[in-house]
Amino acid sequence: MIILPRLLVQLLEKVDERRGAELALDFAEHAVEPLTDGLCSVCEEYVAAARQAIRLGRADDRLLRAHDAFAEEAWSDPGHSDDRNLLDSAVRLACQDMLIEAGVYSRAGRVSVDAPYIAKTAQSFVARRHSERAGDGEDLREVNRRARWEEARWQVRRVIATEPAPPGNG
């Protein structure tokens, strides 16, 4: 039997740091609930700015503005905190060192996050959301298990679908 969450961790252990960051952003984006228009645009911009910063290798003005807007939205709207926490964790994985260098975070406040953690958190997030929406009489443990499994399946497919071809030997 193939245990997808275990396979996913094995795959993620083989990718480099940059790829792991990109995948973590993919996982978080896929897992979050459709958000209200204002919050959705702030979250989308935050993730897009993080992707750009990864490509640039540094925090640029776009990332700094997106971070500020994201933080401001988090304080003004207490709803959807789980969605925001998942996205924020993925952006921290992708850009934390860049944001420390830019003076947004201090080195003392550095948080250890990795792609397997984001993947597992996204699976839990999706499972909880499905359990909350389960109908009367449904086995919540089974709903939860299936939702985690399907999210892990999507994540494995995402890793495989986006894996670049290995360099040629001549």
Domain ranges of the chain: 4-162
Residue among 91, 165, 86, 79 nearest 119 (CA): 86
**Tens digit of pLDDT for each residue in 42-80?**
889 999 999 999 999 999 999 999 999 999 887 777 666
Strands (E) located in 36-165: none
Q: Which two tokens stand for residue 61?
A: 């003005």
Q: Are 35 and 83 in contact (CB under 8 A)?
A: yes
Give the per-residue pLDDT at 1.
Answer: 72
Angle at 117 between CA 113 and CA 120, to 5 degrees: 160
Burial environment of residue 165 by CB neighbours within 10 A (0 to 12, 13 to 18, 19 or more): exposed
> Which amino acid is residue 97, in one-letter code?
D
Q: Over 80: is that where the pLDDT of 122 sits?
A: yes
Residue 19 binned pLDDT confidence (cut-offs 50, 70, 90): very high
Q: What do you get for the CA distance between the two ends of the chain, in Å?
A: 38
What is Dmax (Cα atoms) for the chain?
61
- The answer on pLDDT for 85 being more than 80 is yes
The identity of residue 134, as a single letter, is A
Torsion from C-alpha of 68, 70, 74, 75, nearest 10 degrees: 20
Q: CA-based Rg of the chain, rounded to a whole angstrom?
A: 17
Tokens of 14: 């083989």
Tokens of 141: 């443990």
pLDDT at 109: 81
Provide the 10 A C-beta neighbour count for residue 2: 6
Question: Of 150, 117, 147, nearest to 12 (Cα)?
Answer: 117
